[in-house]
């Protein structure tokens, strides 16, 4: 009797223990399953974060490249701007120099115009009073059956502006024509007629044809 009771107690204890272990095992399995699910979820989130990180890195790299390109473009534009500003300043300086030279040329041409006018006024009386004056000699016409040549004399020389005044007028020469300047039958230079009035003209000496200094009273031949 006592043995049966003891066995029953032991069996009950085992049953209770087994039940408790079963309950604990189920709880552990549930926790294990939850841990697995949580791990999978964390793995998925980590993958998404990693993909986002790579995407951000690519975007950052593109933005850095774009920024470098913009910086380079800005540097190039700045260099071009400085170059254009320098060229503009140089051109402004050149324009100012040309304006000064043009004003000087105008002043010189006004002086020449006055000299031509005075020469025209003085030429008739001087010619009648003294035809042997060096700068007021009458034109000499040399007759040549092959090619008639008109001759005159240099009245004045303006070396600063490389032109001469000659006592040949529009009845002897025309603007754009070339005359030869001689001394003792030696060719000194050639000059291009730039202005013509009655009895006198102004001619620019051509540097490539000049071999010696021109002086007043040198002979001028117009072909």
Residue with token string 């025209």: 120
Model pLDDT, residue 120: 54
* 3-state SS assignment for residue 158: strand
**Following DSSP, what letter does each residue of 62-115 receive, concatenated?**
HHHHHHHHHHHHHHHHHHHHHHHHHHHHHHHHHHHHHHHHHHHHHHHHHHHHHH
| pLDDT band at 1; cut points 50, 70, 90 | low
Mean pLDDT of 183-188: 94
pLDDT at 97 over 70: yes
* 132 secondary structure, DSSP code: T
Q: pLDDT tens across 9-64, in order?
A: 667 676 677 666 777 777 778 888 888 888 888 888 888 888 888 888 888 888 88
Mean pLDDT of 175-196: 95
The top-level CATH class assigned to 130-222 is mainly beta
Residue in 136, 137, 143, 218 with CA at minimum distance from that of residue 183: 218
| pLDDT band at 73; cut points 50, 70, 90 | confident
Residue with token string 């850095």: 64
**Which two tokens mark 130?**
């003294």
Model pLDDT, residue 156: 93
Mean pLDDT of 210-220: 94
How confident is the prediction for the chain on average, in pLDDT? 77
Question: Domain residues of the chain, as ranges?
Answer: 1-92, 130-222
**Are the beta carbons of 136 and 121 closer than 8 angstroms?**
no
> What sign does the dihedral 33-37-42-43 (CA atoms) show?
positive
What's the Cα-to-Cα distance from 25 to each of 5, 33, 35, 39, 40, rounded to whole Å?
A: 29, 12, 15, 21, 22
**Are the beta carbons of 172 and 139 closer than 8 angstroms?**
yes
* 3-state SS assignment for residue 194: strand
Model pLDDT, residue 213: 93
| pLDDT band at 176; cut points 50, 70, 90 | very high
**Are the beta carbons of 199 and 123 closer than 8 angstroms?**
yes
Q: pLDDT tens across 121-156, in order?
A: 554 433 333 333 343 333 333 334 444 568 999 999
Model pLDDT, residue 200: 93
Cα separation, 217 vs 93, in Å, equals: 41
Cα dihedral 76→79→80→85 (10° resolution): 160
* 145 secondary structure, DSSP code: S
């Amino acid at each position: 009797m006592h043995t049966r009771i003891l066995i029953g107690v032991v069996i009950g204890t085992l049953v209770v223990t087994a039940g408790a272990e079963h309950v604990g095992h189920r709880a552990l399995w549930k926790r294990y399953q939850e841990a697995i699910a949580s791990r999978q979820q964390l793995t998925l989130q980590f993958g998404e974060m990693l993909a986002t990180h790579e995407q951000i890195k690519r975007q950052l790299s593109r933005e850095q490249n774009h920024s470098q390109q913009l910086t380079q473009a800005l540097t190039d534009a700045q260099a071009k701007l400085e170059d254009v500003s320098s060229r503009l300043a140089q051109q402004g300086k050149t324009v100012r120099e040309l304006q000064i030279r043009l004003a000087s040329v105008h002043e010189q041409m006004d002086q020449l115009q006055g000299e031509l006018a005075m020469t025209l006024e003085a030429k008739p009386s001087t010619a009648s009073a003294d035809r042997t004056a060096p700068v007021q000699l009458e034109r000499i016409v040399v007759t040549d059956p092959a090619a008639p040549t008109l001759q005159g004399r240099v009245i004045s020389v303006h070396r600063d502006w490389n032109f001469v005044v000659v006592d040949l007028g529009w009845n002897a020469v025309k603007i754009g024509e070339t005359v030869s300047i001689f001394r003792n039958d030696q060719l000194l230079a050639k000059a291009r007629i730039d202005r013509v009035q009655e009895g006198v003209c102004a001619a620019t000496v051509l540097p490539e044809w000049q071999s010696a200094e021109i002086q007043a009273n040198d002979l001028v031949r117009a072909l």
